[in-house]
Chains A and B, each alone.
Chain A
Amino acid sequence: SQQGEEDPQALSIQEGENATMNCSYKTSINNLQWYRQNSGRGLVHLILIRSNEREKHSGRLRVTLDTSKKSSSLLITASRAADTASYFCATDLRATDSWGKLQFGAGTQVVVTP
């Protein structure tokens, strides 16, 4: 079963608009990460936010984390056609057997049209 669930499943926007996607998870975490995947390729790490952080920025990306609601959001500002990809949130578990193991959500497919 998946730890994270993204919402929406798909998002279509025009260049210059902002894209917001949400992730909910079920159990306590150490960190939450966001990854991007271009079609049929590997995942690329975007940002990591720790459980004691509430907001983090990286370039055009803004991530928030609300541990009381077990949810996170990823905002991409001023989107570009190159941002077209699937976006996944991933959580680790507060467990001793979490070596190398992230639990990924189902992903949000974002299409940015010129």
Chain B
Amino acid sequence: KAGVTQTPRYLIKTRGQQVTLSCSPISGHRSVSWYQQTPGQGLQFLFEYFSETQRNKGNFPGRFSGRQFSNSRSEMNVSTLELGDSALYLCASSMTGEANEKLFFGSGTQLSVL
């Protein structure tokens, strides 16, 4: 079974631009979560999607958004990029997103904002 796939692996953008990151979950997994990882703040939860609906959201500004498609693939978008948005963005999937499930993570997208 293929794992969680994130594309692209690396991205370099400049301030003010926008970016879209993609995540394909493990086949059969319907819950997709996104996390931001930085050296200063560690791993921070962004949001979670299930059946094309956002069920949970972390404390990030509205510039961070996401969506999920009918095949459970998910995208996240960051508009008006700031230097502080430089981070490793991780996508994780699970069957239902319930608390007793382990998360399967992709390798991440390393975003650098110049």
Contacts and interface: CB of A to CB of B under 8 A. Distances in A.
B99 A31 contact: yes
Interface stretch (A15-23, A61-69, A74-82, A100-108): A100-108
Q: For chain A, what secondary structure do more than half of its interface residues adopt (helix, strand, loop), or is it mixed?
A: loop
A30 B99 contact: yes
A56 B90 CA distance: 27
A100 B55 contact: yes
Q: For chain B, what secondary structure do more than half of its interface residues adopt (helix, strand, loop), or is it mixed?
A: strand
Given A40-B88, A42-B4, A104-B43, A98 B105 contact: no
B31 A99 contact: yes
A88 interface: yes
Contact of B45 (A43, A45, A88, A101): A101
Contact of B55 (A2, A40, A99): A99
Interface residues of B, number: 31
B21 interface: no
Given A50-B100, A98-B99, A99-B48, A42 B105 contact: yes
Interface residue range, chain A: 20 to 34
Given A40-B110, A42-B106, A45-B103, A102 B55 contact: no
A41 B94 contact: no
B86 to A, nearest CB: 13
Contacts of B45: 100-103
Interface in B2-34: 4, 6, 31-33
A33 B33 contact: no
A16 B106 CA distance: 30
Interface string A23-40: 000000011010100001
Pick the most buried of B55, B97, B102: most chain A CB atoms within 10 A of its CB: B102
Given A42-B108, A99-B98, A103-B45, 9 more contacts: A41-B107, A42-B92, A48-B100, A88-B43, A97-B55, A99-B50, A100-B45, A104-B35, A106-B42
Interface of B: 4, 6, 31-33, 35, 42-43, 45, 48-50, 55-56, 58, 88, 90, 92, 94, 97-100, 102-108, 110
